C-alpha cells in the first residue's frame, strides 16, 4: 500500500463531485426542480445533490476494484451488493426528492435494499464459517443485518435536516472508517471509505451553511447504505465481533441516536412513528442557539468524539467501550429531555433558516 493508492481514489471522487455538483444545481434551477413539493420547500435550493455524490463515489470506486483490492471474496460480493441495493436506494431517493413518496412505499423499498444486503452477508458468512453455521445463526444474522441497514439508512435520512449537518457527519464517519480500515488491515474498508471521504468533502463545499444545494434523500439514503455496508465488512470475519459491532454503533452514534429518539418520542406521544415533526435533535438545538453553524459544530464534535471511542472499542479497549456506553446513555437522556421540554416553534426554525438563506443571497448578489 502506497500513498498514491489513497490519493488517487480520494482525488478522483473529490474532483468528480466538486465539478458536477454546481452543474447539477444549475440544471435543477433551469428545469425548476428546486422546490420539493411539501411544506419544507426551500426556494431556489436544489434537492438533488445526491446525484453528484453517488456519481462521484461510483467513479472513485472504479480504480479501487480494478487495481487496488485483490481478487478476494469480500470485493467480489461487495460490488454487486452495492450496485443492486444502491440502485434501489438511489432511485427511491430521487423519486422522493421530486415527488415526495408516501412513507409506506419508501419503507418498502428501504426494506428491499436491506434484504439484498442481508442475503449477501449470509453468503459471506457461509464462505467464512462454512459448516459451523446453524439455521438459528443464519436467521439471527439475516434479521440483524436487515435491521442495521434499515436503521442506518433511515437515520442518515432523518439527520439531514439543516445545512451541512449530514454531510459533515459523513466526512467524519468516512475519515474514521479509513482509520479503522488501515488499523485492521482491511483494504476494501480503507479504499471505499477514502472514496466516500473525497465525495463528502467536496460536497460540503456547496452544502455548508448557507447551503447552495442539498443532498436530498438520494444522497442521505445512499450515505446510510454505504456506511452500513462498510461497517458490516468491518465485523464479518473478526474475532472480536461484539467490540466491532459496538464500535460501529458508536461511530454512527449521532444519526442513530436522533432516529431512535424520533421513533420513541412519537410512539410515547401516541403519534405515527413515521410522522415528520420539528423535534429532531438538530431542530431543538437550532431553536436554542439560533445558528445552523453552531448546531453543526456541536453535533460534528460529538460525532468525532464517539467515532474515536468507536475505533478504540473496535481495537478491543474495554475502557473505551464503557466510556462510550456511559456517554451514549447520557446523550440519550439529555436529548430526550430537551426534546420533551423544548417548545420548538416551526415558525422560529423557518425564520432562522431564512436568515441564513438571506446571507447566501446577499453574497451571491454582491458577487454578481
Mean pLDDT of 18-32: 90
pLDDT at 164 over 80: yes
Percentage of the chain beyond pLDDT 70 is 89
pLDDT for residue 227: 96
- Residues 165, 200 contacting (CB under 8 angstroms): no
Place of cell 426556494: 43
pLDDT for residue 38: 43
pLDDT digits (tens, 9 = 90+) for 41-67: 445 678 889 999 999 999 999 888 887
Q: From CA 112, how far away is CA 104, in angstroms rounded?
A: 12
How confident is residue 197, by pLDDT bands cut at 50, 70 and 90?
A: very high
pLDDT for residue 106: 80
Query: Which of 26-30, 129-133, 140-144, 284-288 is most confident?
Result: 284-288
How confident is residue 356, by pLDDT bands cut at 50, 70 and 90?
A: confident
- Residues 149, 198 contacting (CB under 8 angstroms): no
For the beta carbon of residue 116, count every other beta carbon within 10 angstroms: 22
Start-to-end Cα distance in the chain: 46
The rounded Cα 328 to chain-centroid distance in angstroms is 19
- Residues 218, 93 contacting (CB under 8 angstroms): yes
pLDDT for residue 180: 96
pLDDT for residue 366: 42
For the whole prediction, is pTM greater than 0.95? no
DSSP 46: B
pLDDT for residue 35: 56
pLDDT for residue 360: 53
Amino acid at each position: 500500500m502506497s500513498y498514491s493508492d489513497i490519493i488517487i481514489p480520494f482525488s478522483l471522487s473529490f474532483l468528480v463531485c466538486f465539478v458536477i455538483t454546481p452543474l447539477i444545481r444549475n440544471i435543477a434551477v433551469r428545469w425548476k426542480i428546486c422546490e420539493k413539493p411539501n411544506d419544507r420547500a426551500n426556494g431556489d435550493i436544489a434537492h438533488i445533490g445526491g446525484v453528484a455524490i453517488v456519481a462521484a463515489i461510483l467513479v472513485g470506486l472504479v480504480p479501487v476494484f480494478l487495481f487496488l483490492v485483490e481478487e478476494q471474496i469480500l470485493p467480489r460480493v461487495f460490488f454487486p451488493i452495492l450496485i443492486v441495493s444502491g440502485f434501489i436506494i438511489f432511485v427511491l431517493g430521487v423519486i422522493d426528492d421530486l415527488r415526495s413518496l408516501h412513507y409506506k412505499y419508501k419503507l418498502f423499498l428501504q426494506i428491499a435494499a436491506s434484504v439484498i444486503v442481508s442475503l449477501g452477508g449470509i453468503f459471506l458468512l457461509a464462505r467464512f464459517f462454512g459448516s459451523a453455521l446453524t439455521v438459528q445463526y443464519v436467521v439471527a444474522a439475516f434479521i440483524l443485518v436487515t435491521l442495521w441497514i434499515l436503521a442506518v439508512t433511515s437515520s442518515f435520512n432523518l439527520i439531514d435536516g439543516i445545512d451541512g449537518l449530514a454531510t459533515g457527519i459523513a466526512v467524519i464517519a468516512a475519515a474514521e472508517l479509513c482509520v479503522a480500515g488501515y488499523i485492521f488491515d482491511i483494504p476494501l474498508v480503507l479504499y471505499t471509505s477514502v472514496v466516500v471521504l473525497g465525495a463528502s468533502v467536496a460536497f460540503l463545499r456547496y452544502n455548508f451553511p448557507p447551503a447552495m444545494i442539498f443532498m436530498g434523500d438520494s444522497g442521505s439514503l445512499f450515505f446510510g447504505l454505504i456506511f452500513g455496508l462498510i461497517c458490516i465488512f468491518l465485523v464479518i470475519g473478526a474475532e472480536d465481533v461484539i467490540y466491532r459491532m459496538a464500535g460501529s454503533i458508536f461511530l454512527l452514534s449521532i444519526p442513530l441516536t436522533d432516529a431512535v429518539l424520533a421513533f420513541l418520542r412519537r410512539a410515547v406521544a401516541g403519534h405515527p412513528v413515521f410522522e415528520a415533526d420539528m423535534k429532531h435533535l438538530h431542530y431543538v438545538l437550532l431553536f436554542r442557539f439560533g445558528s445552523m453553524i453552531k448546531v453543526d459544530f456541536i453535533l460534528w464534535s460529538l460525532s468525532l468524539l464517539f467515532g474515536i471511542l468507536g475505533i478504540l472499542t473496535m481495537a478491543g479497549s474495554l475502557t473505551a467501550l464503557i466510556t462510550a456506553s456511559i456517554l451514549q446513555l447520557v446523550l440519550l437522556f439529555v436529548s430526550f429531555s430537551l426534546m420533551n421540554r423544548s417548545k420548538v416553534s416551526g415558525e422560529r426554525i423557518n425564520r432562522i433558516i431564512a436568515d441564513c438563506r438571506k446571507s447566501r443571497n446577499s453574497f451571491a448578489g454582491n458577487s454578481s
